[in-house]
Amino acid sequence: MTMLTTTLLASFFASLPLAAAFSDSANNNVAIYWGQNSLGQDGSQQNLAYYCNDDASDVVLVSFLNQFFAEGGLPSINLGPSCGGTTFAGTNLLSCPDVGKDIATCQGKGKKILLSLGGASGAYGFTSADQAKDFANTLWNLFAGGSSDTRPFGDVKVDGFDLDIEGGSNQYYNDFVDQMRQNYASDASKKYYISGAPQCPIPDQMLNPAMTTSDFDMYFVQFYNNYCGLQSYGTDNFNFAAWDNFAKTQSSNPNAKVYLGVPGGPTAAGSGYVDADQVIKIANDLQSKYSSFGGVSIWDASQAWANHDFADVVKAGLESSQADPQPSLALSTTDQNKNVVPSTSAQAPASSSAPASANGPASSSAPASANGPASSSAPASANGPAASSTPASANSPAASSTPAPADPTVTVRPTVTLTKFFPLASCGCVANN
C-alpha cells in the first residue's frame, strides 16, 4: 500500500464504532507500551486516556516500575513526562492520581492495563525466593487488589503485571509469579494477567527459568534488535515458529498467547523496524499459521502515534484477517492458583556484548542491588505517609547484553543493541526497553 492508501485505511478504521473489548482468546489484539516517550520530543507523549480513546489498542503496558527496592523499602516508578515531582514522604514512589483516573477511563473502554516491571535499565532483581514473594505482595497492595496508604494510582486496580526483565539476575521470578497468582485468586472481582517481554532468541536469557516453571498468559516477544527480528522475516532466522512451539511444549502454560513485538517507528529500536504494511503482511501470515498468535505489541505509543497512524493501520490489518480466534487461552480464576511443576529447560546462551549505539546507553551486565523487606508469605499492607513534593531520583539507562544465536553459523549484526529506543535528553525517562 502507498502512504495515501495507508492513511485512508487508518481514517476509515477510526470512523468505525467502538471496537470490542480485549479478548484473551483473540488473535487480533494490539498491545502498546506507554510511559517512556521514546520519541523524545516535547509533547510527543500524550496522557494515557488519549491513547485509550483510540480503538487501536486493546492492552496498554504502563512503563516502567524500574526500581524494586528504593527508599523506604518501596519500589519506584518512572513514567517519563507523564508523572513527576510528587512522591510519598520517605520514599521515591511517585503519586500519580491523574494516571489513576486515566487507567479507570481505559478500563471503562474495555482496555486491559498492565504495569510493566524492568526495562533495559533500573535497579531490579531478587536475592531469595522469600524476597520475591514479599515483593509480589507489595505490588499487590500498591497497584492491584490489596490495600495501602501509598497507592500511586489511587483506588484503581491494574489488570496485571508485565515482566520486561533485561538485566540483573534471572533468579526467583518464578516465585514472584507464583505468589502473585495466589494473590490474584484472592480477588474474584476481576481477572488478572501476567505477561513477559522476552527477546526473540530462544531461550530468553532472563525470563526462560520463570516462563518454563510459572504460568504466563502472554508473551510480548521483542522481534527487533536481534538477528531473529522482523528484518529476517522470510528466512530461517525469523523464529516465530520456535516461539509457537515454546509456548505449547515448554512454557508452563501451554495456552499462553505469543505476540509479535514491533518497533512503532524508525527510531524506536536499533534494528528491526518495518513499516505498518509489512507488519500487517507478517502478522496475517502468523494469524493463519499459528494458534498461539495473539496479536501485535508495539514499542511505544509516542513513536506509533507520530508514525502515519501506525497503530491504527496495524489494528485494521489484524481485524481484516479471516483467521478464526482460538479457544480462550488465559488461565481461569481457579487455575491462577494451581501448583506448577518445574520442567527441564534449555540453558540460556552465553551473552555476547553488542556495540552500543552512539546515541544509546552504555552496556551493563551487573545485577542490580535488591535490598528487600523481611520474608512473609501473606500480603501485608504497605501503609505509608502522605505524599510530599520531594522529587524522585533519576538514573541513566543502560543496555543489556545480546544473547548469541543458537546456530553458530549465524552472524549477529554488529549494530545490534538490546534497547527499544535511543534515550534522548527530552524524553524525561530513566528506563527503556
* Angstrom distance (rounded) from CA 167 to CA 206: 7
What is the Rg, in whole angstroms, of the alpha carbon atoms belonging to the chain? 20
Longest Cα–Cα distance in the chain: 59
Judge whether 166 counts as a catalytic residue.
yes
Closest CA to 272 of 420, 135, 64: 420
CA–CA gap between residue 303 and residue 276 (Å, rounded): 12
Q: What is the C-alpha to C-alpha distance for residues 128 and 204, in angstroms, rounded to an integer?
A: 21
55, 166, 300, 312: which one is catalytic?
A: 166
Residue 23 to residue 286: CA distance in whole angstroms: 18
First-last CA distance in the chain: 30
Degrees, nearest 5: CA angle 373-375-381: 65
Q: Dump the DSSP string for 58-115.
A: SEEEEEEEEESS-GGG--EE--GGGS-S-EETTS-PBP-HHHHHHHHHHHHTT-EEEE
For residues 402 and 352, is the Cβ–Cβ distance under 8 A?
yes
Q: Which residues are catalytic?
A: 166
